[in-house]
Structure 1
Amino acid sequence: MFTLADNHEIGKELRATVVDALKDVMANDPKVVALDADLGGASKWTDIAENTPDRFINVGIAEANMVGVAAGLSLTGYTPFIHTFGPFATRRVLDQIYLSGAYGENTLNIFGSDPGFAAGHNGGTHTTWEDIALLRSIPEVVICDAADEIQMDWIIKEFAKLKGVHYVRGNRKGVKNVYAPGSAFEIGKGNLLCEGQDYLIVAAGQLVSEALEVAEKLEAEGNSMDVIDMFTIKPLDKELLLERFIGKKAVITIENHSITGGLGSAVAEVLADNGLAIPLTRIGVNERFGQVGTPDFLQTAFGLTTEKILEQLKSR
């Protein structure tokens, strides 16, 4: 269903990918609507406003109200997509997502942009290391972390077909290519990107490209590596994990998120629930808040570059 890209160059900005995907689905479905919380310039959703002004609402800096309005639109038969920065799309509006969205059995398609180190100069107030952890606690919510533009395009178009609460996180800017054009995926199914016998790396989102680089460098040192892109963190592909755990010396998770409650925790739960005594190393953020800096600086400062990940693995 998918093919890996020939190179890992920086691709199209993910915010532009989201806009173009939404334009496509809105052209084919008059019930799809878009809402933004006064970030149209940052998200480029102003393009949607110009393209379909009757189906775009800027609610202003009122994120909780945006979720309520979206839930109301869902009640009347519309399919709403909403956007704001990751912490405001999850932490700030958690009760509204829980009650008006999931508990109310309404449809909310949420794009939380600039997770983790992607927040850059916006600093700690705009940084979310906990969005996945928060939403994992809500029944039936689908959570995705887009690896690149190809996957993001597919996720947005797939969400438009579904009922319920769905969340996708991703950098607004361009990220490294992982998949070739035309690739397709399946919600709740991880993607086995390469196969090996010794170790298993499970990654998601922007750090999938780093996971592939880490595997390449470890394989050059004589290690044999599996790499899984677990782009759907909920529902988690437990079957694939259990299959690839067999015979592994250790499991490594890599995420642009806290190690508490995110991908690493989800994988740890599968190991524990099945009584598997395989060593697990969770690479992510541990007991830290966000800070100000360029995304490249922050990725290094929080230990999430290929080089920093390798340092952590070799020190254990």
Structure 2
Amino acid sequence: MKITFEKEKKTTSFRATYSQTLDRLIKEDKDVVVLEADLMKSSGTDTLFKDHPNNCINFGISEANMISAAGGMSKAGLIPFAHSFAPFVTRRPLDQIYMSIAYSNSNLFIYASDAGIWSQRNGGTHTTNEDIAIMNAMPNCKVFNPSDPVQLTWLMNNYHENKGFYYVRCGRKNEIQHIYKEDSIFEVGKGIVLQQGTSKVAIIAAGMMVSEALLAADLLREKMITPTIVDMFSIKPYDESLIQQLISENDLILVAENHSKIGGIGSIVAYEIAKSKHNVRFKHIAIPDAFGEVGSLEFLKSKFKLNASDIAESILEELSLVKNLKRRKK
């Protein structure tokens, strides 16, 4: 792994990154194929359909057919990339994903856009708060939640080089500040320590919540608290050794994720805490067991308490409880 951080203001949308990376990959390798379910404009691949018509297929509103065809293409030696909104490449074609991709050990990169509250005004039918839980339980499936466009590009290149079944959930049209420089090299199954703390507090985050965690760290520094910040973009496989290290070195671990509180990164960390012999406290900032709602990103972050201020307040509250408990013991 070689990580360098972007210090300048530089933004790109995930869909622009997806389209631009595919354009380059198709020019390098004619076996790359782009699969869509009538959402080319939404994903930014509409230009690819014009520029590379022999490498692009629109299946219409038929995601199950798209996934099954991807499995066949993989067996024929092609390298498929498929996109749709996250619920339409998890819940809707789940059996086809299981049988044609995972069980058949086929190659497929799924770009699941607008996962969690990224769906914004598309509402409950277009929202998936449970996709990590679904895909984590599927054998042969690698699950990722990139925090910035640089990570998405690296994942696409890594899939193209190594093949396999990649499920990648992230935003779509919003401009995202780059956290990493473009020369960064990541590693499947490894988390990234963005900031090493000194206060025995660790924040584990992925996707959009990494930026919120970094902002929360700024708020906590005003209270003389310096947390360790970890980007756990690789969810399956996950970095067990790093999580166990965080458990052994900290008094409090907070997980922040744009996903249901059930079956996501929080469940993974709670499992690792249960395995350990350390008495570390655990907090979880996540979406409750609820369906999606209509609203702007800011409204939904506030509604489900996914803001940096919510992370900071949760940590301050927990540290206050710990101090009070220690006083009672004395």
TM over 0.5: yes
Greater shift in the superposed pair: 213-222 or 196-205: 213-222
Query: What does residue 134 of structure 1 align with?
Result: 134
Separation (CA, whole Å) in 2 of partners of 1:108 and 1:245? 34
Q: Is 1:246 the counterpart of 2:248 in the alignment? A: yes
C-alpha displacement of 1:15:
0.0
Q: Is 1:187 the counterpart of 2:188 in the alignment? A: yes
Q: Is 1:302 the counterpart of 2:271 in the alignment? A: no
Amino acid at match of 2:273: L
C-alpha displacement of 1:275:
3.6
1:10–1:253: structure 2 CA closer, same or farther, 3 Å change rule?
Answer: farther
Correspondence list, 1:1-316, <5 A: 1-7=2-8, 9=9, 11-173=11-173, 174-197=175-198, 198-316=200-318
CA displacement 1:211-235 (0-9 Å, x = unmatched): 1111222132122311110000000
- 1:178–1:208: 8 Å Cα contact kept in structure 2? no
Greater shift in the superposed pair: 190-199 or 219-228: 219-228
Amino acid at match of 1:58: N
- 1:189–1:237: 8 Å Cα contact kept in structure 2? yes
Question: What TM-score, normalized to structure 2?
Answer: 0.92
Separation (CA, whole Å) in 1 of partners of 2:31 and 2:69? 15
Question: What TM-score, normalized to structure 1?
Answer: 0.96
Amino acid at match of 1:196: G
Separation (CA, whole Å) in 1 of partners of 2:281 and 2:170? 29
The size of the alignment, in residue pairs, is: 315
Aligned CA RMSD, in angstroms, stands at: 1.4
Larger radius of gyration: 2
1:304–1:141: structure 2 CA closer, same or farther, 3 Å change rule?
Answer: same
Percent identical: 38
Amino acid at match of 2:176: V
- 1:11–1:148: 8 Å Cα contact kept in structure 2? no
Amino acid at match of 2:50: E
Separation (CA, whole Å) in 1 of partners of 2:316 and 2:287? 18
C-alpha displacement of 1:52:
0.9
- 2:86–2:169: 8 Å Cα contact kept in structure 1? yes
- 2:219–2:309: 8 Å Cα contact kept in structure 1? no
C-alpha displacement of 1:160:
1.3
Separation (CA, whole Å) in 2 of partners of 1:296 and 1:196? 28
Separation (CA, whole Å) in 2 of partners of 1:191 and 1:256? 18
CA displacement 1:133-160 (0-9 Å, x = unmatched): 1000011211110111111111111111
Which runs of no fewer than 5 residues in structure 2 stay unpaired?
319-330
Which runs of no fewer than 5 residues in structure 1 stay unpaired?
none
Which segments of structure 1 move beyond 3 Å, counting only runs of 4 or more? 311-316
CA displacement 1:69-105 (0-9 Å, x = unmatched): 1001011111100000011111111211111101011
C-alpha displacement of 1:17:
0.3
